[in-house]
Amino acid sequence: MVDEFDTVAWWTAAAVAELGDDHALPAACRGSGSPAALDWLARSMGLEPGVRLLDSGAGVGGPAEYAARNHEARPTLAEPMEGACRAARRLFGRPVAVADGLALPFPDEAFDAAWSLGVLCTIDDKRAYLEELRRAVVPGGAVGLLVYTRAVESLPDQPEGNSFPTRAELLDDLRATGLDVVEETLLADVPGTPDDWEQAATEVEDVVRRDHQDDERWQRAQSQQETIVGLIRDELVVGVLVSCRRGDSAATR
């Protein structure tokens, strides 16, 4: 995971510096679904101008920046990989904490809303992770997730560092942590990434490949990414967008 989420993240920021700022948002959102998926979450979560939004596992900061530019949210990023934090800071200049989502360095109820995109499947103790998100938002606050779920009993290829929950396990974990589901949809049911974004993100990836393809860290990250893309293409792993609210009931685990 370090290769993909730390080293390559930093290389991505360097590639954007070469290609221009218009490449930053598409490249930094690559891991997280389309702008339409982010809009779906923002609408369902009720993100309003000025909302204090935590992005846990923020990666290179694309989704948080998208929320700031398109929904006037005030994002704070938390992300355990230092290279990704440095990249996010360099690309967008928003507040970033190097932090594990299992132990967020924020007081209780510090945010109006939180989202976490493509992160839960990298966490073993999913309930502890969800409890931290719940703790960080005000009562009734919105919590949005993009979760890659396992649609079959066992996967032919398990990418390192990932443990995909089934949809039923996800719903159990949300219930147990006092996060009430408001709405959910399949990622495949919202419009995909527009061609100009795809093009810009691909150009960034091409520069990273040109400069680092002989580096075994790039090769490991590439192989990891190909495995996940294959699982999604074959519908063995399915992206789900879930919009929740912090409920009244305390966590019961």
Ligand X SMILES: C[S@@+](CC[C@H](N)C(=O)[O-])C[C@H]1O[C@@H](n2cnc3c(N)ncnc32)[C@H](O)[C@@H]1O
Q: How many Cα neighbours within 13 Å face the side chain of 77?
A: 30
Minimum distance from residue 227 beta carbon to ligand X (Å): 13
Minimum distance from residue 103 beta carbon to ligand X (Å): 9
Q: Is 125 exposed, middle or buried (0-12, 13-18, 19+ CB in 10 A)?
A: exposed
Q: Is 105 exposed, middle or buried (0-12, 13-18, 19+ CB in 10 A)?
A: exposed
Helices (H), the chain: 2, 8-19, 24-28, 35-45, 62-71, 82-92, 126-136, 167-176, 195-212, 216-233
Minimum distance from residue 248 beta carbon to ligand X (Å): 26
C-alpha separations of 101 from 16, 54, 123, 146, 159 in Å = 27, 11, 9, 15, 21
Q: Which residues bind ligand X (CB under 6 A)?
A: 5, 29, 31-32, 56-59, 62-63, 79-81, 84, 100-102, 117-119, 122-123
Minimum distance from residue 168 beta carbon to ligand X (Å): 22
Q: Pick between residue 72 and residue 125 the one whose CB is nearest to ligand X.
A: 125
Q: Pick between residue 51 and residue 60 the one whose CB is nearest to ligand X.
A: 60
Q: Pick between residue 166 and residue 225 the one whose CB is nearest to ligand X.
A: 225
Q: Pick between residue 58 and residue 190 the one whose CB is nearest to ligand X.
A: 58
Q: CA 79, CA 60: separation in Å to the nearest integer?
A: 9
Minimum distance from residue 190 beta carbon to ligand X (Å): 15
Q: Pick between residue 188 and residue 249 the one whose CB is nearest to ligand X.
A: 188
